[in-house]
Chains A and B, each alone.
Chain A
Amino acid sequence: GAVVSQHPSWVICKSGTSVKIECRSLDFQATTMFWYRQFPKQSLMLMATSNEGSKATYEQGVEKDKFLINHASLTLSTLTVTSAHPEDSSFYICSARGLMGTEQFFGPGTRLTVL
């Protein structure tokens, strides 16, 4: 199957700083990428959907100014958590889908800890 990578796999930062997480589709062109957040022992919650070259669509309750998403190319989407706070600590997962595909391929996730 198609491979999606995320970088970094884990990050620790101080409160008030910004953190960027990268999501790459390694062997296919991803026209759509999704960003999810997973709390401990809970399900994945969709944060936003991004299409290459256009603005992301955010789910209700997700602050678009806090979680900046950029999908500048067909193989790369980034999520920037701005002015991070301890409550932003979570596991962030991306997935990617190709132009004609129906299946989403998931990255391994990034664990963010904000001190």
Chain B
Amino acid sequence: GNSVTQMEGPVTLSEEAFLTINCTYTATGYPSLFWYVQYPGEGLQLLLKATKADDKGSNKGFEATYRKETTSFHLEKGSVQVSDSAVYFCALSVITGRRALTFGSGTRLQVQP
């Protein structure tokens, strides 16, 4: 089956620190990979995605590279801001079938001024 494993939180950083949130996956078939963000009191929003090996998704200063050889899709940002405080979910979707999303457990990021 499909599964996503991501590092447990909470992750607490100071403003302008470097962020890495690890994500690894197992999948039957060739998945697309996603990072979603959930700000307090809001619904999930797509942050970035990658659909094939070695693709790099990027948005709002966040980046993640689809690494097929290590089955990973780690999220990085060079300098976090207080406004980045949220819960981040790694997810995958297999192209065939219903293309439902399989989510990781989520990582809460707290950025302190």
Chain A residues proximal to chain B, CB less than 8 Å? 1, 4, 6, 32, 34, 41-46, 49, 57, 93, 95, 97, 102-104, 106-109
Contact B100 A106 (CB under 8 A): no
B61-102 near A? 1/0 per residue, CB < 8 Å: 000000000000000000000000000010001000011111
B99 & A109 in contact (Cβ 8 Å cutoff) = no
Is A44's CB under 8 angstroms from B43's CB?
Answer: no
The docked-state distance in angstroms from the alpha carbon of A95 to that of B100 is: 10
Q: Are A108 and B43 in contact (CB under 8 A)?
A: yes
B residues in contact (CB < 8 Å) with A: 32, 36, 41-46, 49, 89, 93, 98-106
In Å, the complex CA distance between A56 and B98 comes to 12
Q: Of all chain A residues, which has the CB nearest B105?
A: A43
A49 to B100, CA, bound (A): 8
Query: Can you list 8 residue pairs at the A/B interface with Cβ under 8 Å?
Result: A32-B98, A42-B105, A43-B103, A44-B44, A44-B89, A95-B44, A95-B101, A102-B32
Q: A6-B43, A42-B105 are in contact. List 6 more A-B contacts (CB 8 A).
A: A1-B45, A34-B101, A46-B101, A57-B98, A102-B32, A106-B44
A42 touches B106 (CB 8 A): yes
Q: Which residue of A lies closest to B10 (CB)?
A: A41
On chain A, the residues within 8 Å of B89 by CB distance are 43-44
Flag if A106 contacts B98 (CB, 8 Å). no
Q: Which of A6, A34, A43, A102 contacts B106 (CB 8 A)?
A: A43
Within the complex, the shortest CB–CB distance from A111 to chain B, in Å, comes to 11
A34 vs B89: C-alpha distance when bound (angstroms):
17
Output the residue of B41, B43, B99, B104 with the most chain A CB within 10 A: B43
